[in-house]
C-alpha cells in the first residue's frame, strides 16, 4: 500500500469513528452523533475539523472555535497537566523555544525546575551550547513556588531535563554528534520547512538529517529523543516519523514573531493542522511518537485548544521572552517594553552576520513586559488547569490531558470563510 492509500485509509477510519457521513452531496453527522451534539449544544473537535474541511475545503484556527463547558471537576486542583514525551515526563507540558532572546542556561534551569523543557538555541557556537548543557545538568532540582503553588521539576536520573537544537543543514554534521554525546535528553532538528531533502532525502535509506541523527543515536545506544519540524500536514509528519523522528513540531506561520504566512502565504490554521498530524502520530503509537504544537500561543486558552486538538506538548517563545528571567532581558528592555524578534527576522540575521539576500520571515518589535517569569508560568499552567476543569472530568472526578482531549466539546464561532 502506498503512502497516499495509507493516509486515505487512516482518515476514513477517523471519519467513521466520528460519525461523518455524506448525504445528498453534503457531509454531515450520523443521526446518533447529531443527537449527541444537539444534547450537548456542541461538537467533538474532530467533527468540526472534518466538516469544515470536507464541506468548505477549509481549516480551523483557535479564533474559529470556543470550548463549551461540561460537567467539570470540583476544582483546578483536581487536574493534572503532566505529559509524557517518548518516556520523558513533563509536569508542565511546555517546551521553551530555541530562540536567542528566550533561552539561555539560567532560563533553562528555571524552566526545568518549573517542570518544562527548554531547548537551547543553535545560533551561537557549539562550545557555548555545550557549556549551557553542562550548567543545566549540574543545577539543583529545586521546585519553584508562587503564591500557594509549587512546581514539580522535570528530571531524569535525578537531573534536570535539557534539550538542544541543531540546524538541518549548515553545521549539522559537526554539531549533531557533539550535542548527543553531551547527554541531552532531546535533540531538535530545526527548519522552517521540515520536509525537504536536507531533512529527509526521498528514495534514500540514509540521506537527510533525520536518518543521520537516528543512526547516530542507535549506533551509540543513546537515550535521546529526536524531534523534527516544522510541518503542518499528515503526509509530512508520516515521512518524518517513518524516517526515524520521535516527535513532530507542528506549525508554519502562526508564531507571534513569524511573518512566514505574510511573506510566503504558506501555512495551515493550527487547529486543523494539529488534528490531522495527530492522526498520524497515533498511527505510530507503537514507537511512542508525540506532537508538539509550536507557535501563536499568546495565552493559556490557545494552549488548551492545541492540547485538545491532539498536541502532547506546547512550544512557546515570545510570551516567555517578555518575562524578566528570559535571556538578555535587561539588555532588551526599556521602560515598560521589551525587544522581541523572530529568528528569521532581518534583525536576527544581521546579529548573526548573515549577508544573504533571502527575504526575512520574522518580525522585530517592542512589546509590553509581562513581568515575573515565575508568575507567568504558574498563571499559564493555572489557565490550562481551568480549561481542563471546564472541559469535563473522568469517572474519578479528575482531568488530565487525555481527558481534555476525549471530553472537550466545541462550537464554531466564526462563519467568514473568505
The domain segmentation of the chain, as residue ranges, is 3-75+396-412, 77-385
The confidence band for 418, taking pLDDT boundaries of 50, 70 and 90, is very low
In whole angstroms, what separates CA 192 from the centre of its chain? 14
| Three-state SS at 66 | strand
Averaged pLDDT score across all residues of the chain: 90
Give the tens place of pLDDT for each residue, 289-335.
999 999 899 999 999 999 999 999 999 999 999 999 999 999 999 99
How many angstroms separate the CA atoms of 160 and 227, rounded? 19
Q: Are 58 and 52 in contact (CB under 8 A)?
A: yes
| Three-state SS at 405 | helix
How many angstroms separate the CA atoms of 58 and 414, rounded? 12
How many angstroms separate the CA atoms of 43 and 410, rounded? 5
346, pLDDT greater than 70: no
Q: Is the peptide bond before 230 cis (omega within 30 degrees of 0)?
A: yes
Give the tens place of pLDDT for each residue, 147-172.
999 999 999 999 999 999 999 888 89
Length of the chain: 418
Give the tens place of pLDDT for each residue, 4-53.
999 999 999 999 999 999 999 999 999 999 999 999 999 999 999 999 99
395, pLDDT greater than 70: no
What pTM value is reported for the model? 0.93
- Please measure the distance between the N-terminal and C-terminal CA atoms of the chain and give it in whole angstroms: 37
Rg of the chain over Cα atoms, rounded to whole angstroms, equals: 21
* Residue 339 bridge partners (DSSP): 366
77-385: in CATH 3.20.20.70: yes
Give the tens place of pLDDT for each residue, 21-34.
999 999 999 999 99
* Residue 95 bridge partners (DSSP): 117, 315
265, pLDDT greater than 90: no
* DSSP string over 278-322: HHHHHHTGGGT-EEEEES---SHHHHHHHHHHT-SEEEE-HHHHT
- At 363 the pLDDT is 72
Amino acid at each position: 500500500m502506498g503512502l497516499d492509500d495509507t493516509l486515505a485509509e487512516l482518515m476514513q477510519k477517523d471519519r467513521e469513528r466520528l460519525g461523518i457521513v455524506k448525504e445528498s452531496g453534503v457531509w454531515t453527522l450520523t443521526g446518533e452523533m447529531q443527537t449527541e451534539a444537539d444534547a450537548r449544544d456542541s461538537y467533538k473537535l474532530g467533527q468540526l475539523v472534518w466538516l469544515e474541511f470536507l464541506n468548505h475545503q477549509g481549516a480551523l484556527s483557535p479564533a474559529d472555535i470556543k470550548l463549551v463547558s461540561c460537567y467539570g471537576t470540583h476544582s483546578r486542583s483536581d487536574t493534572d497537566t503532566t505529559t509524557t514525551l517518548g518516556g520523558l515526563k513533563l509536569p508542565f507540558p511546555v517546551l521553551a523555544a530555541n530562540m536567542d532572546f528566550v533561552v539561555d542556561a539560567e532560563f533553562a534551569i528555571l524552566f526545568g525546575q518549573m517542570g518544562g523543557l527548554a531547548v537551547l538555541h543553535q545560533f551561537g557556537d557549539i562550545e557555548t551550547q555545550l557549556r549551557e548543557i553542562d550548567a543545566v545538568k549540574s543545577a539543583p532540582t529545586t521546585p519553584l513556588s508562587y503564591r500557594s503553588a509549587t512546581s514539580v521539576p522535570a528530571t531524569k536520573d535525578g537531573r534536570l531535563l535539557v534539550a538542544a537544537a541543531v540546524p538541518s543543514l549548515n553545521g549539522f554534521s559537526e554539531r549533531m554528534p557533539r550535542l548527543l554525546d553531551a547527554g541531552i535528553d532531546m535533540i531538535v532538528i530545526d527548519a522552517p520547512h521540515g520536509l525537504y531533502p536536507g531533512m529527509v532525502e526521498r528514495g534514500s535509506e540514509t540521506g537527510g538529517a533525520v536518518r543521520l541523527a537516528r543512526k547516530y543515536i542507535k549506533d551509540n545506544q543513546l537515550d535521546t529523543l529526536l524531534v523534527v519540524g516544522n510541518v503542518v500536514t499528515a503526509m509530512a509528519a508520516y515521512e518524518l516519523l517513518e524516517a526515524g523522528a520521535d516527535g513532530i513540531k507542528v506549525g508554519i506561520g502562526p508564531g507571534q514573531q513569524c511573518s512566514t504566512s505574510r511573506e510566503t502565504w504558506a501555512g495551515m490554521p493550527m487547529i486543523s493542522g494539529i488534528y490531522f498530524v495527530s492522526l498520524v502520530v497515533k498511527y505510530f503509537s507503537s514507537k511512542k511518537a508525540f506532537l508538539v504544537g509550536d507557535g501563536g500561543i499568546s495565552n493559556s486558552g490557545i494552549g488548551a485548544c492545541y492540547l485538545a486538538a491532539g498536541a502532547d506538548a506546547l512550544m512557546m517563545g515570545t510570551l516567555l521572552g517578555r518575562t524578566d528571567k528570559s535571556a538578555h532581558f535587561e539588555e532588551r528592555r526599556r521602560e515598560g517594553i521589551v525587544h522581541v524578534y523572530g529568528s528569521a527576522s532581518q534583525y536576527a540575521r544581521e546579529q548573526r552576520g548573515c549577508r544573504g539576500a533571502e527575504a526575512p520571515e520574522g518580525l522585530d518589535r517592542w512589546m509590553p513586559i509581562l513581568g515575573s517569569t515565575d508568575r507567568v508560568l504558574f498563571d499559564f499552567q493555572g489557565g490550562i488547569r481551568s480549561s481542563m476543569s471546564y472541559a469535563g472530568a473522568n469517572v474519578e472526578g479528575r482531568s488530565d490531558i487525555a481527558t481534555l482531549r476525549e471530553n472537550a466539546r466545541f462550537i464554531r464561532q466564526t462563519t467568514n470563510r473568505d
